[in-house]
Amino acid sequence: MAEVQTTFVKAINAALARAMRADERVIVLGEDVAEGGPYTTTAGLAEEFGIERVINTPISEAAVCGAAIGAAQAGLRPVVEIMFIDFLTLALDQLVNQAAKAHFMSGGQLTVPLVVRTQGGAGSRSGAQHSQSLEAWLTHVPGLKVVMPSCAADAAGLLASAIADPNPVVFVENKSLYFRRELAPEDPAPVPLGRARTLRPGRDLTIVALSRLVGEALSAAEQLASDGIEAEVIDPRTLTPLDLDTIAESVRRTGRAVVAHEAVYTGGFGAEIAAQLQAAAFDFLKAPIQRVGAPFTPVPVSPPLEDAYRPGAAEIHRAARIAAHWDEPFAASPEPGAVTAP
């Protein structure tokens, strides 16, 4: 399949356009979406499909999600854009108590084929109210699917599957990935929800990384290779459903694991992955599962502090070395700066 240079944001835009051309039931709603939205993910859609299908909404996340849930139950396939994942707090009643419950509470009579696209992550100097990673909240809700792509090709393929899914899906995009240039298929195929991807094979250690941390994990794996440690890197791509089989099979081979995400360490989804892994691969583990996450503090707006706050390749490398050398004398103590505890 031919590949082209693109960006994450262009891949999202193209996937939305393809879905809208293929199915007139697909509509887009959100604040300023007819003008392209804050990151241009919906640029040009109003010109092609009209403002009846690309609908600017009031600044009320609860109203937007409520209207979209009603539209989904009436037979449409709405794609909502919430500018920042922080603002999902204003729509949680609609998402948690309505969208996630309708199919179950109606005895299967109702479906809610709704996609909520939202942006998370720090690094843009946007402050504590516009920089959070709150995906763990959403994974705690039965009835919601949660997707976190790490590259343009997966963003396009996963979004196609999310739009086609009969269930409500929250599609979390990291702002720092939007404008990175990368190769992607010109006509990407849908990526099934619930299927992880192994990006780098390895025999000594498994690194499970989410969203932006996938690229950081690959960088850490290159550095580990120079240390003689071959790390396997896995991107779950979807958190709910989680492809535990792929991750556990890797850990059973390597015997060691690191789980990394940008969200705060305490209560992050990495804890859930670690818990499921120890149950699925306990007899094969040679060291405690190491976790990498952000400090338990609001995201600073100060550039130096925000840079220090965001976990990256260095933290993953340190955690991996702890796991790799755990059974060696005097090697189990965390190295300075290793993120292994809250």
For residue 168, CA distances in Å to 53, 98, 118, 202, 327 come to 19, 10, 13, 35, 44
pLDDT of residue 3: 86
241, pLDDT greater than 50: yes
For residue 254, CA distances in Å to 36, 228, 243, 317, 342 come to 45, 14, 18, 16, 26
Query: Is 173 designated active site?
Result: no
246, pLDDT greater than 60: yes
List, in order, residues 6 or more apart from 279 with CB less than 8 Å away: none
115 neighbors 159 (Cβ within 8 angstroms): yes
Q: Kindly state the greatest CA–CA separation across the chain.
A: 67
pLDDT above 90 as % of the chain: 92
Q: Annotated catalytic residue: which of 31, 81, 103, 130? A: 130
Query: Is 317 designated active site?
Result: no
Q: What is the mean pLDDT of residues 227-250?
A: 98
pLDDT of residue 333: 52
Domains of the chain (ranges, CATH numbers): 3-185 (3.40.50.970), 197-324 (3.40.50.920)
For 53-82, what is each residue's pLDDT tens digit?
A: 999 999 999 999 999 999 999 999 999 999
- Paired sense of beta strands 238-240 and 290-294, if any: unpaired
pLDDT of residue 337: 40
For 169-204, what is each residue's pLDDT tens digit?
A: 999 999 999 999 999 988 889 999 999 999 999 999
- Amino acid at residue number 43: A
Q: Annotated catalytic residue: which of 61, 135, 173, 216? A: 61
- CB-based burial, 240-268: b 16+ in 10 Å, e otherwise: bebbbebbbbbbeebbbbbbbbbbbbeeb
112 neighbors 73 (Cβ within 8 angstroms): yes
